[in-house]
Amino acid sequence: MATKDATWAYRDAHDEFARTYFRRCGRGVVSSIGLGTYLGDPTDEVDDGYRDAIVRALEGGSNVVDTAINYRHQRSERVVGEAIDRADVDRDAVFVSTKGGFVPFDEDRPDDPGAYVQSEYVDSGLVDPEDLVAGQHCIAPDYLDDQLDRSLENLGLDTVDCYYVHNPETQLQNNSADAVYDQLEESFTRLEERAADDDLRHYGLATWEAFRVPSDHESYLSLSEIISRARAAAKSAGNAATHFRALQLPFNVLMADAFTVEAQSDADGPTSVLWLAHEAGLNVFTSASLAQGRLAKTMPDAVADRLAGETTAQRALNFARSAPGVTCSLVGTSTPEHVDENIAAGTFEPLGADSFDAIFE
């Protein structure tokens, strides 16, 4: 797992970046630009590109790699593991996160996906049909237990640094919010137990809409309630403190809802999820930092003119990592050339708090 000594040593070895490029994460530090592995077809060619890109990123100053068991039908996890093994970087210097929730295929999409899910997960007893939503999503404790084991095997690691429950708002299609909170508390308890066994260091939620929409939206979840459930789960597992430490959510110039929508609540009233996460001491990792490529070529001039960077992609990344409370902005790329461009954004300082706020005035 990523350790304090190894991550600080990694930072010291990469002194070419601007002052705020490396940021605190627990007792260690991580780069504020990380590599995502969502995009791409499930092919050997894409595997090769990702493998080279991850090695390039790890050796070039980015020590955060994010994946999920369902990304590219488990291929992304396996390539991440191969790249970490191949890179000339200490494993303990790398922050590795993955996710469980969506039922994954294995290497390729089966001819009959429904039959595959039925045979592999339902008939085998791994998934109770009542826990399966939209034929593809489950967050029950036993299922996440199984998925974490598979992820560790795919990655070739003993411990994952952060394990996310993936898009829990999907469960709201079939269940009430209270039922989802109850299910999350049960699953958090299991993850707390796995943390005590050193199978994971931290856990969190990776969401798409849940924390960016108004409170009356069908996908809304309360972060305050989830934090309360995580604390209860830690107590049930016999842990002194919760291991719930991270959120992953979309944030970019075109999707700034995590900052602008004040649908969460704290003691002082309505607030944005970014501010609430910051107050709660959670690390925030932004996904879709380039809006899945749309911001690599163009962005609003009024915003671009305020940001440092030599390319549009660099300025877009510097916007994402300028938001209050953001630890790291993830960007998916499977080419070494794009890795170099993205990481080089870290040689420029992001916006200060006042300059960032001014964009929304």
Domain locations in the chain as residue ranges: 4-351
Residue 68 amino acid letter: A
For residue 171, what are its two tokens? Answer: 């469960």
Q: Is 44 exposed, middle or buried (0-12, 13-18, 19+ CB in 10 A)?
A: exposed
Report how far residue 171's alpha carbon sits from residue 187's, in angstroms, rounded to the nearest whole number. Answer: 13
User: Cβ atoms within 10 A of the Cβ of 3, count?
Assistant: 17
CB 72 within 8 A of CB 136: no
Q: Look at residue 333 in the predicted model and tell me its pLDDT.
A: 84
DSSP tag of 120: I
Residue 274 amino acid letter: L
- SS3 state at 108: strand
Report how far residue 323's alpha carbon sits from residue 307's, in angstroms, rounded to the nearest whole number. Answer: 13
Residue among 277, 211, 287, 301 nearest 252 (CA): 287
- SS3 state at 246: strand
Q: Look at residue 161 in the predicted model and tell me its pLDDT.
A: 98
Report how far residue 103's alpha carbon sits from residue 198's, in angstroms, rounded to the nearest whole number. Answer: 24
Q: Look at residue 133 in the predicted model and tell me its pLDDT.
A: 97
Is the pTM here over 0.75, yes or no?
yes
- Residues with Cβ < 8 Å from 137, sequence gap 6 or more? 101, 102, 103, 167, 170, 171
Say which CATH topology domain 4-351 has: TIM Barrel (3.20.20)
Within 63-110, strands assigned E span 64-66, 95-100
DSSP tag of 340: H
Q: Look at residue 293 in the predicted model and tell me its pLDDT.
A: 82
Q: Look at residue 268 in the predicted model and tell me its pLDDT.
A: 84
Q: Look at residue 10 in the predicted model and tell me its pLDDT.
A: 98
CA atoms within 13 A on the CB side of 73: 16
User: Cβ atoms within 10 A of the Cβ of 250, count?
Assistant: 22
Per-residue pLDDT 10s for the chain (361 aa) are 999 999 999 999 999 999 999 999 999 999 999 999 999 999 999 999 999 999 999 999 999 999 999 999 999 999 999 999 999 999 999 999 999 999 999 999 999 999 999 999 999 999 999 999 999 999 999 999 999 999 999 999 999 999 999 999 999 999 999 999 999 999 999 999 999 999 999 999 999 999 999 999 999 999 999 999 999 999 999 999 999 999 999 999 999 999 999 999 988 899 999 999 999 999 999 999 998 888 988 988 989 999 999 999 999 999 999 999 999 999 998 788 899 999 999 999 999 988 899 898 7
User: Cβ atoms within 10 A of the Cβ of 105, count?
Assistant: 17
Report how far residue 127's alpha carbon sits from residue 252's, in angstroms, rounded to the nearest whole number. Answer: 35
CB 343 within 8 A of CB 57: yes
Q: Look at residue 16 in the predicted model and tell me its pLDDT.
A: 96
CB 163 within 8 A of CB 192: no
